[in-house]
Structure 1
Amino acid sequence: MIFNVAQLMKSPFGSGAAFEADIHEEQVQFDNDFKVIGPVDGHTRMRRVNQGLLVDGWVDLKLELECARCLKHFEQPMHITFEELFYPTVDVVTGTPLPPVEEDDVFPIDEHHQVDLTEAIRQAILLAIPTVPLCKEDCAGLCPQCGHDLNLGPCNCEPEVDDPRLNVLKQLLQNEK
């Protein structure tokens, strides 16, 4: 996801110069925390602004996630949008290094005038991953006693009573039987 933007950087600010491109990458691995399944497809638009380039776009991909309830791995299709500023590290005309930008969330345009969207897209994916990923909304999870997958049906475990104050209720239920 690397694009050469030398011609776009030579355009004067305010000229409305822009560059658009489709994204199609096979076998992309952004991070060890999540696995991408299949290709990453999308579109990006880069516009010349005073500071450098404003890059926005979207990607469609599938992630392999682990269900927080039943611990099964499942595929989660995602549509990720991103918008970031990219700052030049060298002057495109003279090739002289530019002073570093004092912001933490800065994405660089490297010395070869190339924009690498990989890190910007990785960060957008991390923000879009659900805090509690579920294989399905009504996932029943695992039995806390035996570990049986409750999506396959109930198990034969008796509910545990951890609170001794509830033993009286347990005795009432046993007396009814």
Structure 2
Amino acid sequence: MIFNVAQLLKSLVGTSLESDFSEDDIQLDEDLKVIGPIAGHARIRHINQGILVDGWVDLTVELECTRCLKHFEQPQHVDFEERFYPTVDVVTGIPVEPVDAEDAFPIDDHHLVDLTEAIRQQVLLAIPIVTLCREDCAGLCAQCGKDLNEGPCECQPEPDARFSVLKTLLQQDNS
């Protein structure tokens, strides 16, 4: 996911380049396991401040179900759009004043744009807060820990202490 943008930086503002890419064995994050290849498409445009890259990636990540704690594979389609600013002038090779923007990534000294970090951030943002292996996941029994997707357990529900007053009222009515 590395692109040489030297010729693009020498061209007129508004010039663009489009490319499909595929990476077979890549890990974006130590806590995020990517299963199989990452495939995507990028459109790289020369803008006044540097380079604007937008596109999409398709990948499969391994997640842990929030309810039953089993690992499962989740395909993802993630769109991205990021700005990259040059650190070295493409014609003279003189270092350029850094851009004061938190949302922009640097182009290295060899005029290479690496999309890995930008894509990693967008993939992490695309993962839902609650990850479920399936919509109707029953989860684990709170008392014995049995996977309720495999069938019910033998546990009896614990009585709620807040309703003990109602139980005494029922006993008084029956007397």
Which TM-score tier does this pair reach, normalised by the shorter chain? Answer: over 0.9
Structure 2 matches for 1:123-142, cutoff 5 A? Answer: 123-142=121-140
- Which amino acid is 1:165 matched to? R
1: distance between equivalents of 2:32 and 2:78? 15
Match of 2:164 among 162, 167, 172: 167
1:48 to 2:46 alignment = yes
Partner of 1:175: none
Please give the root-mean-square deviation of Cα atoms over the aligned residues, in Å: 1.5
1: distance between equivalents of 2:151 and 2:163? 27
Partner of 2:113: 115
Structure 2 matches for 1:21-32, cutoff 5 A? Answer: 21-32=19-30
- Superposition TM-score, scaled by structure 1 size: 0.92
1:7 to 2:4 alignment = no
Structure 2 matches for 1:14-163, cutoff 5 A? Answer: 16-161=14-159, 163=160
- Superposition TM-score, scaled by structure 2 size: 0.93
Q: Which ranges in structure 2 are unaligned for 5 or more consecutive residues?
A: 171-175
2: distance between equivalents of 1:164 and 1:41? 55
Tell me the matched-pair count: 170
1: distance between equivalents of 2:138 and 2:167? 24
| Aligned-residue identity in percent | 69
Matched residue SS, 1:111: coil
> Over residues 69-121 of structure 1, what are the superposed CA-to-partner deviations in whole Å (9 max), with x where a residue is unaligned?
00000000000000011100000000000011112222011110000000000
Per the alignment, do residues 126 and 170 of structure 1 end up closer, same or farther by CA in structure 2, a change over 3 Å counting?
farther
Q: Which ranges in structure 1 are unaligned for 5 or more consecutive residues?
A: 173-177
- Which amino acid is 1:64 matched to? E
> Over residues 16-48 of structure 1, what are the superposed CA-to-partner deviations in whole Å (9 max), with x where a residue is unaligned?
311111110011101012100000001101011
Q: Could you tell me how far 1:169 is from its partner in structure 2?
A: 5.5
- Which amino acid is 2:75 matched to? P
Matched residue SS, 1:165: helix
- Which amino acid is 1:10 matched to? K
Q: Could you tell me how far 1:167 is from its partner in structure 2?
A: 3.0
